[in-house]
Structure 1
């Protein structure tokens, strides 16, 4: 392992913790009503007709047909994104791919999957789904509607993921139960919250997932979205009770499908203890692939990413 030893941050992005300590972090106790909150939210989301609309994209690729698309999420929110369809071979699997808090300008055309319809939604308020007055910067977005669980933007983004699955099922009904999810950072946290309550998702891949162990998330120094919430709480009443309903580690403990999770030992944007709280919450049959660092360029990153890329190929391979 080659954890970075020099960096420009005013705090230690390892938080003084080695792998053994990180692997010992236990998931937090779930908030009262956690399961009821998400089960009801899922029921409402899956009652929505996504009404997908597809247009041929200007993006050309030798392996993929690329389509611009929109679909309807909860609250009649219009979600923009892209759909990739294989040029050769049938559609035998589905995959929804989330994004980090930087949003998404283009679909990832280098995913190691075949025979797969790949949907890249932009979560509400971000990139193609920008919608004033929702702020499109991470620090503002993560605060939007935080006063109440039912209005919090993070719940809406989980709805958007579920409606992305509904969109794939509407277009290709045979994919129900054969749809995966892959998400990094912000998208990793959203995935952890969504997967346990959606039986149509049969496996998930999360990279440096955020929103884990909210009581820790609210106390550790960071350059990520938690910094904005920490500053907000200093001026307002505590938001921890709301955040506990949106704890990715509590949700991960409820996931029953195969998972491939890649937490990092060093990360200035998503504190590693919070990432490992998510990974450690999963059932022991799942795979954890440990990165030296996240949200940071480091020596050996290309080699580690190549290894992870190959694991992802095998993980989502059509049987």
Structure 2
């Protein structure tokens, strides 16, 4: 297990609440993932089969050379036909050896981030439906409080499921534009959670890094306050208890147990936006887990630059091992 600086009680003395929620690493490692309900795998597999029949129909809208790569804005179809925009990054000097599908947090994405993308990789940076900058208000409402519960009346229409299934279409777009490649997933927070939902059902992926992943272990998430999207969901379920049954199909901790590729989870001991017990619920589900324990998530703290640099290096090394194992 990678070693990072220990969490200090003095770092967040002025915080609104204790975002460790009273947990220690030992108690977090003991949190069990939510057992998948009956029909869970069958439903996700059926969605995957439906997605295979669709044409991502990618189109390149513009291209430039930046960061020593070719960076293009593209458009592709989502699982319901909604046209979504993304960034595509390609190496300039030689063909790519691996493809990276790179998710983002709930704030959306304003530019590419190549920190975890090897020089010899092609990458697609999909932007989730509804979220800025490329897809603000497209296919889902933009405000987080509306986005996270959009379509929650039905498992087929719930936005988190659509966003996860859109990742398969983004991977299709990458393959169409740069050729068939082994794929590796990277996603943080929102992107970590929807990545965990999508990963097990797509055999093109050889591994993943999930950074402070959201949407895991809803029994734990719904029991505590937070500053992130979980608080909106908690309030909604309190007013609409029937929504809890819908959420059972979108628990990242239930889904990740079906993944049969190496997964690196970077989970935090203190996090006011994504409660650590949810993050560790996801990590504890992984069959082939590399766990990196971060002192804190969604918060600045002393030593953050060093923690971030070591985490990025660990993620790149994990991708390299996954690629060697798959070769």
1:115-145 deviation per Cα after TM superposition (whole angstroms, max 9, x unaligned): 1111001011111122357321222100101
Q: Is the 8 A contact 1:215 1:240 kept in 2?
A: no
2:270 and 2:174 mapped to 1: Cα distance?
36
Q: Does 1:113 align with 2:113?
A: no
**Distance change (3 Å), C-alpha of 1:244 and 1:63:** same
Among 229, 233, 238, the residue aligned to 1:234 = 238
Aligned to 2:17: 11
Q: Structure 1 residue 184: deviation in Å? A: 0.1
* Deviation beyond 6 Å, 4+ runs, structure 1: none
Distance in 2, matches of 1:237 and 1:133, equals: 26
Tell me, yes or no, if structure 1 residue 276 matches structure 2 residue 277. Answer: no
SS at match of 1:216: helix
Instruction: Label 1:26 to 1:55 Cα distance change in 2 as closer, same or farther (>3 A).
Output: same
Matched-pair contact (CA < 8 Å) for 1:11–1:221: no
Tell me, yes or no, if structure 1 residue 298 matches structure 2 residue 304.
no
Taking structure 1 as reference, are residues 133 and 110 closer, same or farther at Cα in structure 2, changes over 3 Å only? closer
**Partner of residue 74, structure 1:** 79
Q: Is residue 126 from structure 1 mapped to residue 131 from structure 2 by the alignment?
A: yes
Q: Secondary structure at the match of 2:180?
A: helix
Given that residues 31 and 241 in structure 1 are in contact (C-alpha distance below 8 angstroms), is that contact kept between their aligned partners in structure 2? no
Q: 1:62 to 1:247 in 2, by over 3 A?
A: closer
| Equivalent residue runs for 1:136-285 within 5 Å | 136-175=142-181, 178-283=182-287, 285=288
* Structure 2 equivalent of residue 50 of structure 1: 56
* Structure 2 unmatched ranges of 5 or more: none
* Structure 1 spans left out of the alignment, 5+ residues: none
Once the two structures are superposed, residues 248-288 of structure 1 have per-residue CA deviations (whole angstroms, 9 ceiling, x without a partner) of 001111110011110000000000011001001111x4210
Change (3 A) 1:4 1:296: farther
Q: Which one of the candidate residues 69, 79, 85 is aligned to 1:64?
A: 69
Q: How far, CA to CA, are the matches of 1:4 and 1:296 in structure 2?
A: 13
Q: Distance in 2 between the 1:298 and 1:263 partners?
A: 15
Q: Secondary structure of 1:74's partner?
A: coil
TM-score relative to the length of structure 1: 0.94
Distance 1:159 1:37 in 2: 12
1:239 is displaced (CA, Å) by: 1.4
Query: Retained in 1: the 8 A contact 2:129–2:138?
Result: no
Coordinate RMSD, CA, aligned: 1.6
Q: Is the 8 A contact 1:263 1:289 kept in 2?
A: yes
1:7 and 1:212 mapped to 2: Cα distance? 27
- Give how far 1:62 is off: 4.1
How many Å apart are 1:110 and its aligned residue?
A: 3.4
Given that 2:86 and 2:124 are in contact with CA atoms closer than 8 Å, whether structure 1 keeps it comes out as yes
Say if 1:63 and 1:88, in contact at 8 Å, map to a contact too.
Answer: no
Alpha-carbon contact 1:68-1:83 (below 8 Å) kept: yes
Question: Alpha carbons of 1:195 and 1:62: their partners in 2 closer, same or farther (altered >3 Å)?
Answer: closer
CA contact under 8 A between 2:226 and 2:272: conserved in structure 1?
A: yes
CA contact (8 A) 1:4 1:293 kept: no
Q: CA deviation at 1:199?
A: 0.4
Pair 7,64 (structure 1): closer, same or farther in 2 beyond 3 Å: farther
| TM-score (norm: length of structure 2) | 0.92
Contact 1:2 1:299 in 2 (8 A): no
Q: Of the candidates 307, 310, 313, which is equivalent to residue 313 of structure 2?
A: 310
